[in-house]
Amino acid sequence: MDLHKLRSFMKKVNERLETELSQAIVKLHAPQKIKDAMAYSLQAGGKRIRPTLLLATLHAFGKEMKYGIKTACALEMVHTYSLIHDDLPAMDNDDLRRGKPTNHKVFGEAYSILAGDGLLTYSFQMIAQDSTLTSEQKVKIIELLAIAAGPEGMVGGQVADMLGEKQELSIEELEYIHRNKTGKLLTFSAVAGAIIAGASSEQIDLLEKYAENIGLAFQIRDDILDIEGKEEIIGKPVGSDEGNVKSTYPSLLTLDGAKERLHYHTNLAKDMLRDLNLDTKLLEELAELIVVRNH
Amino acid sequence: MDLHKLRSFMKKVNERLETELSQAIVKLHAPQKIKDAMAYSLQAGGKRIRPTLLLATLHAFGKEMKYGIKTACALEMVHTYSLIHDDLPAMDNDDLRRGKPTNHKVFGEAYSILAGDGLLTYSFQMIAQDSTLTSEQKVKIIELLAIAAGPEGMVGGQVADMLGEKQELSIEELEYIHRNKTGKLLTFSAVAGAIIAGASSEQIDLLEKYAENIGLAFQIRDDILDIEGKEEIIGKPVGSDEGNVKSTYPSLLTLDGAKERLHYHTNLAKDMLRDLNLDTKLLEELAELIVVRNH
């Protein structure tokens, strides 16, 4: 599988997203300093998996990209804010992110906290001001984004992760962390795309399950990469999670067990797509990409 | 003026708000730790000026409190998140807030950052899930809240405040900081009330100007209190702003000049109310309260 269609789609998504995100920051009436701090991390690249997932879902329904691009920007803002706050000295205390100095290393801790706060807040504004959606769609998308990102989602998962540090977790506890810390925002990406496309509740269910499974697969692959990956490729020390005595899929299931589980979730995700009966080529390739990616 | 009507209204608002806020946290499916950290600061009391302003505006239109209570909760969550993040070691590094240990002193810095993030995110969820409002009202209120709280409002004002530290500011620069750092969220409170009440755009304009002026009055009074106030009443060291060589209204205008400006804005606020021709007794008393309050 050469993932040809997906790679060309991702290129288009990335270009469009760069432009939209950069315009979104430029037009803000705010001190230049906070705009710079927000833009620095937004433009630090990354895989743009969430926007791709949202826009590939729209594509499956034959809907144009323009209907999802603002929500895609909002998603990337929420994801970026979470990385900025995660990297803070009081949290993971990371100096590097994707091979570049982290936000607080460049702008200092205080501006970094505020850049995160600003991105999170602005994400809701982006959706509320999207002229391509109905008010009902906006309210639903805002509600789901807040649930996915807040205490019942990402924030709650982060807290559970911190509470579970330095202790042996059960596989259920580990899965709870990942379902919330990273899973719910990924699931939101697909569901938001479905809502924008006017999907039926059955279709939304299938896409939700698809995204849940690729979310878990994504995380398992992360854990595997952490052991197998090469430092120069992923840009952070290999095996750093193991050094912290942190529970991971390989540590709980063995490396082979983790790989088996990775394929289990990837296959389950593809089953959901088959039941959808839509043009889901991109979404299939996205599930595939997660298995083969090396960073 | 004994502010009798306002005080009894505020008592009712506070009681209702305590109940609603406490229920909002209890029902969250999230780790207890983050719920505790969020609830700790939400329940730390405070003047609840913003919810009062919103609900007093609703009252001026003869609308029941229930239509505004969720947005009032959201407002208090946003205000509380901003206090939690402001108090962090990397920001103001405050150990006490309203005479109690600050959030990070009790829960540690990492959970405190996340409690703030959680409250901010949850505030948008509260509004999106409010069953008493139309979708159009929710979208408008969410948009305005994001603008008031984000880079073009509170976050931007905080950044401008930090950039202006330890230098002599012009009165215009000081006013820019206050209009954004505290003013826009106060203005939002009145405007949100007006939107919920179905006010005309002329009425919204008048209420917006009223709130802008009491917002500035509020801040000037804060600066005056910082000099005149007694430590045991306000719960933080008197004159701490002056110790930091920070520009304040009294430092730029003299104490008498600041008092004059306080009355100027209070009177302007009352003029707006007169033009409204509604039952604005509560809003008048609120403007008055700001002048007489001693904490």
Q: Which parts of chain A sit beneath pLDDT 70?
A: 1, 229-245, 293-295
Q: Which residues in A lie closer than 8 A to residue B142 (C-beta atoms)?
A: 124, 128, 138-139, 142
Among the listed residues A243, A248, A239, the one whose alpha carbon sits nearest the alpha carbon of residue A220? A248
Which among B155, B165, B181 is the top mutation candidate for probing chain A, defined by the most A β-carbons within 10 Å of its own β-carbon?
B155
- Is B143–A152 a contact, with Cβ atoms under 8 angstroms apart? no
The more confidently predicted of residues B236 and B273 is: B273
Q: What is the pLDDT of residue A91?
A: 96
Q: What is the pLDDT of residue A247?
A: 87
- What are the distances in angstroms from CA B230 to CA B227, B233, B263, B293? 8, 5, 22, 13
Q: What is the pLDDT of residue A152?
A: 98
Domains, chain A, ranges and CATH? 4-292 (1.10.600.10)
pLDDT in tens, B256-270: 999 999 999 999 999
Element of type H or E holding A173? helix A171-178
Q: Which residues in A lie closer than 8 A to residue B150 (C-beta atoms)?
A: 117-118, 121-122, 125
- Do residues B146 and A128 lie in contact, with contact meaning Cβ atoms separated by under 8 Å? yes
Among the listed residues A243, A288, A234, the one whose alpha carbon sits nearest the alpha carbon of residue A266? A288
Q: Is the ipTM of this complex over 0.90?
A: yes
Q: What is the pLDDT of residue A47?
A: 86
> Is residue B82 pLDDT above 80, yes or no?
yes
- Is A122–B162 a contact, with Cβ atoms under 8 angstroms apart? no
B103 close contact with A: CB closer than 8 A? no
Q: Distance, in angstroms, between B27 CA and closest chain A CA? A: 10
- Is A117–B155 a contact, with Cβ atoms under 8 angstroms apart? yes
- The amino acid sitting at B222 is D
> Is residue B234 pLDDT above 60, yes or no?
no
Q: What is the pLDDT of residue A46?
A: 84
Distance CA A283, CA A293 (A): 15
> Is residue B230 pLDDT above 60, yes or no?
no
The more confidently predicted of residues A229 and B205 is: B205
A124 close contact with B: CB closer than 8 A? yes
Distance CA A202, CA A210 (A): 12
Q: What is the pLDDT of residue B166?
A: 79
- Do residues A204 and A191 lie in contact, with contact meaning Cβ atoms separated by under 8 Å? yes
The more confidently predicted of residues A194 and B288 is: A194
- CB environment B32-47: b (16+ within 10 A), e (fewer): ebbbebbbbbbebebe
- What are the distances in angstroms from CA A267 to CA A259, A262, A277, B96? 12, 9, 16, 53
Q: Which residues in A lie closer than 8 A to residue B128 (C-beta atoms)?
A: 139-140, 142-143, 146
Distance CA B121, CA A284 (A): 32
Q: Which residues in A lie closer than 8 A to residue B118 (C-beta atoms)?
A: 150-151, 155-156
The CA-CA-CA angle for residues B114, A195, A57, to 5°, reads 90
Own/partner long-range contacts of B245-252 (Cβ < 8 Å, ≥24 apart): B245/B166, B246/B165, B246/B166, B247/B164, B247/B167, B247/B168, B247/B169, B247/B173, B247/B174, B248/B174, B248/B223, B249/B174, B249/B219, B249/B220, B249/B223, B249/B224, B250/B223, B250/B224, B252/B169, B252/B170, B252/B171, B252/B174
B35 close contact with A: CB closer than 8 A? yes
B143 close contact with A: CB closer than 8 A? yes
Q: Distance, in angstroms, between A78 CA and closest chain B CA? A: 10
Q: What is the pLDDT of residue A193?
A: 98
pLDDT in tens, B146-155: 999 999 999 9
> Is residue B238 pLDDT above 70, yes or no?
no
Q: Percent of chain B, pLDDT > 90?
A: 84
The CA-CA-CA angle for residues A185, B135, B209, to 5°, reads 105
Q: What is the pLDDT of residue B91?
A: 96
